[in-house]
Amino acid sequence: MLLRLQAQLFGMDESKLFVIGIIIGVVVSILILIKMYANGPSCEIRRFLHGKYVLITGANSGIGKETAYELARRGAYVIMACRDIEKGKKARAEIKRKVPSADIVIKHLDLASKASIDRFVYEFREVYSRLDILINNAATGFSRERETTEDGFELAFGTNHLGHFYLTSKLMSLLEDSSPSRVINVTSKIAFTAKMNWDDLQSERNYNLAEAYNQSKLANILHAKELARRYEFPNVRTCSVHPGVSLTELSSISFRNFWVKIFYYPLYPILWLITKSVNKAAQTTVHCALIEHIALSSGGIYQDCRQVYLKDCEAEDPVAARRLWKESLRLLGLPDDEPDLEP
């Protein structure tokens, strides 16, 4: 009866309308399946973090904000380290609306400045006596022209790697005192095939936006690898996380060019379909924060809530990890207590 009325309404016979309905249903089902596949799995660990202190860098937007929300609703005390305090306040307000009981605070931190990191760590230690989970999530570096940090480092390498390296080093004793604890570095799959430009780490001779950013994400993995080796005892574990591709504020930075926008916005529905939602992109970080301490593979790389194993790439090279560690110490003016021996 309904089909007959619809056929009369659209001026076509019932058989044609039935076929069109089937086609539309199939197309919609396929699109739903594509989006479900693109989103990947959700963290299925039913564990709470009451009494645990979690520090997340870059928590005012995108994956960092979603990670803060997910961990706050599981009872963690979340410290949002943000460069933009106003955005941080808005993000905190959004989370509090969803989770009124959330224990969540905002602290200013600019990873492109050693002075800011020093000030942040000093104030952090004045207030908090423990740190259970450090999530190095913040990222920048989509600049068409080479830019530098306050300390003169190339922006992507200086912020994404050296900033987090320096922060982690300054907080390491607190992580040890709070053990069992963990460090989670948020990286990107593009690092799996990236190379360290050892002859020009700061891109001083030749700057390429993609190469500089990719190198900084590879550095995140190598940092976690060497951190795991140097802290071999099980008290502090570390890992790297590829969250997946999502249309976060970070990705939108690369679309400032007018001509790129012309192609980007018409393709947005397709890009939305084949990329993860921001909440789904945060799930692997959440997984690594919630998994039992002994089950977290120290130095491991995680994607889609599981550990992945790479072959024949610099991301798995222990020599590169140690070399980057020593070079990072030199650039930051930090001492190295370990003898210069081959691994």
pLDDT tens track for 173-190: 999 999 999 999 999 988
Domain for residue 7, yes or no?
no
Tell me how many domains the chain contains: 1
pLDDT band at 126 (very low <50, low <70, confident <90, very high): very high
Q: Which domain holds residue 137?
A: 44-332
Specify the pLDDT at position 251: 55
CA distances from 77 to 5, 56, 59, 71, 157 (A): 58, 11, 14, 8, 30
pLDDT 10s digits, 55-101: 999 999 999 999 999 999 999 999 999 999 999 999 999 999 999 99
In a domain, residue 247? The reply is yes
Are residues 147 and 209 in contact, defined by beta-carbon separation less than 8 angstroms?
no
Give the tokens for residue 286.
Answer: 């959440």
**Residue 233 is assigned to a structural domain of this protein:** yes
pLDDT digits (tens, 9 = 90+) for 297-337: 999 999 999 999 988 899 999 999 999 999 999 999 998 87
pTM greater than 0.85 (yes/no): yes
Q: Does the residue 132 lie in any domain?
A: yes
Residues 175, 130: contact at Cβ < 8 Å?
A: no
Is 90 exceeded by the pLDDT of residue 102?
Answer: yes
Instruction: Check residue 3 and give its pLDDT.
Output: 46
Q: Taking residues 30-56, what's their average pLDDT?
A: 81
Residue 21 domain-assigned? Answer: no
166 part of the active site: no
* Mean pLDDT confidence for 189-211: 92
How many CB atoms are closer than 10 A to CB 15?
10
Give me the residue label for tokens 């989670």.
184
Identify whether 22 is part of a domain. Answer: no
DSSP state string for 85-98: HHHHHHHHHHHHHH
Q: Is residue 337 part of a domain?
A: no
pLDDT classification of 261: cutoffs 50, 70, 90: low
Which residue stretches of the chain are H helix?
Answer: 2-10, 14-39, 62-72, 85-98, 114-127, 155-156, 164-177, 209-230, 249-252, 258-264, 268-274, 278-281, 283-290, 318-332
Catalytic residue among 53, 69, 166, 213: 213
- CATH code where residue 293 lies: 3.40.50.720
User: In this structure, is residue 15 part of a structural domain?
Assistant: no
